[in-house]
Chains A and B, each alone.
Chain A
Amino acid sequence: MLLAENLKHAIVSTDGVIFLIKDNKLMVIILDVKMMSM
């Protein structure tokens, strides 16, 4: 119960990395990511 009480204010999110092969390279589709610099 204490654990649940502590967690009730946390937001639960999902992050995802999708992999695929394109032009013989391993590519990633990154969702929900703000690219800060590349």
Chain B
Amino acid sequence: MILSTETAKEAIQRVIYNKLNINPKNVYIEELKVYSDIDRDKRGRVVSLAHIGLITSQKINNIAATTYVLIEYTKAKNLAYDHDLILKDALQRLRDRFLNSTIAVKLLPNSFTITELYQLYCLILNKKIDKRNFLKKIKSLGIIKKGTEKVLWQKHRPVQLFEFKSKEIKNLNIF
């Protein structure tokens, strides 16, 4: 519940810190939607301001293991209240944002291979994208640059690492 002394975002940050032991600064948070169906919570009248958060897996090493569920999204079903709907909406929002912004920067490590970026898009959009067209488009948008760490060795072959030019999310049409 949101305390009378805090904003919705501060409430989210408090919960992230208290329940996950994660520095909220490491989580990108974005408002999703208001859920206000009258009977959404049988215990009483509860309006919920839902949010989505994105974090890179490197930042959750010391995560508290008692107050959360970490699960592949396809297996998160039959949740309490209207949370199936919230999850569905959150996933749709994530997909929309992937198509129309550089939000991928919040899910990738600082340096990544172009294949990792491509695979992330296939994973989020849940479909196989034409790799050649994808890479052509990404490069034409000028949103990534060669990394300061130059290469990652994979199977004895050097692979170029890339970085987003900006850590801030830029709204633009990816597809």
> Which A residues are closer than 8 A to B by beta carbons?
7, 9-22, 24-38
In the complex, chain B residues whose CB is within 8 Å of the CB of A14: 2, 8, 11-12, 15, 48-51
19 A/B residue pairs, CB under 8 Å, sorted by A = A12-B49, A15-B83, A16-B52, A17-B32, A18-B27, A18-B53, A19-B55, A19-B94, A20-B54, A20-B56, A21-B56, A22-B57, A29-B60, A34-B79, A35-B79, A35-B80, A36-B78, A36-B79, A36-B80
Q: How many residues of B contact A (CB 8 A)?
A: 53
In the complex, chain B residues whose CB is within 8 Å of the CB of A27: 70-73
Task: Indicate if the CB atoms of B86 and A19 lie closer than 8 Å.
Answer: no
Query: Does B25 interact with chain A (Cβ within 8 Å)?
Result: no
* Chain B residues touching A, majority SS: mixed
Tally the A-B contacts, defined by beta carbons under 8 Å.
144
Expressed in whole angstroms, the minimum distance between the Cβ of B112 and any Cβ of chain A is 11
- Cα(A17)–Cα(B71), bound, Å: 11
Listed stretches B116-124, B138-146, B151-159, B161-169; interface member: B116-124
From B53, B69, B119, B123, give the contact of A33 (CB < 8 A): B69
